[in-house]
Amino acid sequence: MAIEIERKFLLASDDWRAEVYRSIDMAQGYLNDSQSLASGAQNSSIRIRLEGEAARLNIKSRQLGASRQEFDYPLPPEDAEALLALCVGPVLKKRRHFVRHQGHEWEIDEFFADNAGLVVAEVELASLDETFAMPAWAGAEVTHLLRYYNLNLTTRPFSVWSEAERRATDAHGENTCL
């Protein structure tokens, strides 16, 4: 069983752009929706992703927060195209940028369409207590805020968020993962 340990942050500046060593465009959709997970009707998110010329099927446990089960498998791109047409809700479009910072690879997702303007950075860790150096361009941590999960962006996109939600200063009214 694979465990993903990942922390997610807003960006405090665009300084990260000078450190990008690779970028890739992605399209991803889900075969289930956030309401199914929230109600307990389903125990995992099922994602289809096209990333450049490659494609993946990804299943993540319903458990939210920095650590959860993750299973990831390659798919033929033609199958992924067909599966994306079956997805619930819109297909997310984003560009993933890769940045190395003091021994860790950061993935910075820049979203498009209804989520244009949203940019988040993620760092994967080997354990929950692993320490890492925070880049100066990393801002507020949003790992625990449900609205920043990609699955939730399909049903409530960034374009409808308030300014407080966009800055992650309104957490008192939202279900969190902690």
pLDDT tens-digit series, residues 121-173 = 999 999 989 999 999 999 999 999 989 999 899 999 999 999 999 988 876 54
List alpha helices for 56-139, DSSP H: 77-84
User: Under a CB-based contact definition with an 8 Å cutoff, are residues 1 and 60 in contact?
Assistant: no
**CATH class (in words) of the domain with range 3-173:** mainly beta
Q: Cα-Cα-Cα-Cα dihedral of 33, 63, 9, 70, to 10°? A: -80
φ/ψ region of 151 (left if φ > 0, alpha if ψ in -120 to 50, else beta) reads alpha
Q: What is the rounded average pLDDT for all residues in the chain?
A: 89
Mean pLDDT of 67-74: 86
User: Under a CB-based contact definition with an 8 Å cutoff, are residues 118 and 94 in contact?
Assistant: no
Mean pLDDT of 33-60: 81
CA–CA gap between residue 122 and residue 124 (Å, rounded): 7
Where in the chain are the domains?
A: 3-173
CA–CA gap between residue 105 and residue 3 (Å, rounded): 17
What stretches of the chain adopt beta strand conformation (E)? Answer: 3-11, 20-30, 44-51, 54-61, 67-74, 88-101, 104-111, 119-124, 138-141
Chain segment 112-135, per-residue pLDDT in tens = 999 999 999 999 999 989 999 999
Residue 145 corresponds to which amino acid?
L
pLDDT in the model for residue 171: 61
CA–CA gap between residue 90 and residue 28 (Å, rounded): 9
User: Under a CB-based contact definition with an 8 Å cutoff, are residues 35 and 154 in contact?
Assistant: no
